[in-house]
A and B are shown apart, each in its own frame.
Chain A
Amino acid sequence: EVVLTQSPGTLSLSPGERATLSCRASRSVGSSYLAWYQQKPGQAPRLLMYGASSRATGIPDRFSGSGSGTDFTLTISSLEPEDFAVYYCQQYGGSSMYTFGQGTKLEIK
């Protein structure tokens, strides 16, 4: 099983700042198989990025994803008030098995 480790656990920033979230895999993950989600309190996760760098439908272009192998990054170029939430990475490991990272909480500074 591939273990995903996200860092930092909590990120405190102000609106307008740039956010960089990291997701590290215990072994190499194909870029096609890496996704990011945003979860706000009391809501279900929402797909943000798939294939490591493709934005899901309706996701603004201030969100971008990059990375390959074991290191992946989600970047929010200029934070809006609605971006403060918990972010999860997720990978598909073959054999129809999915795992998630433990999440990064993005909070207002």
Chain B
Amino acid sequence: QVQLQESGPGLVKPSQTLSLTCTVSGDSISSENFYWSWIRQPAGKRLEWIGRIYANGNTNYNPSLESRISISTDTSKNQFSLKLSSVTAVDTALYYCATSPKYYDWWFDSWGQGTLVTVSS
């Protein structure tokens, strides 16, 4: 099974760009077996899907966040990354990376442990 580990700054200032990385082990990010997603969970609120990327570079984003999001891959490091621009306090959340199987991309079968990002000056 694929293992995922998120990393990045735990504190980001308002109006700046949040940058997170998910390191993948157990499979190649270029293998075309999975879609690679970012999901977040503000404290006490429901999970929110942010967006995803596939091995060929195709991306899909949550329309509510699309204008501020960029997801990319680094095949040399077997990682994929999230950039969320112009952050405010409402972007404070636990951020997860997760996978969906290629032919059944309707659920998330592996998750990282999550990384807490706080937006504050």
Chain B, 51-88, CB within 8 A of any chain A CB = 52, 60, 62-63
Q: Chain B 82-99, CB within 8 Å of chain A: the 1/0 string?
A: 000000000000001000
Q: Which residues of A contact B62 (CB under 8 A)?
A: 97
- Shortest B47–chain A CB gap in Å is 4
Interface of chain B: mostly helix, strand, loop or mixed: loop
- What are 26 A-B pairs with beta-carbon distances under 8 A? A35-B106, A35-B108, A37-B108, A43-B113, A44-B96, A44-B111, A44-B112, A45-B47, A45-B96, A46-B111, A47-B108, A47-B109, A50-B106, A50-B109, A90-B108, A96-B52, A96-B105, A97-B60, A97-B62, A97-B63, A98-B37, A100-B47, A101-B46, A102-B45, A102-B46, A103-B46
Q: Which residues of B contact A51 (CB under 8 A)?
A: 106
- Shortest B24–chain A CB gap in Å is 15
Interface residue count for B (Cβ, 8 Å)? Answer: 21
Q: How far is the CA of A96 from the CA of B63 in the complex (A)?
A: 10
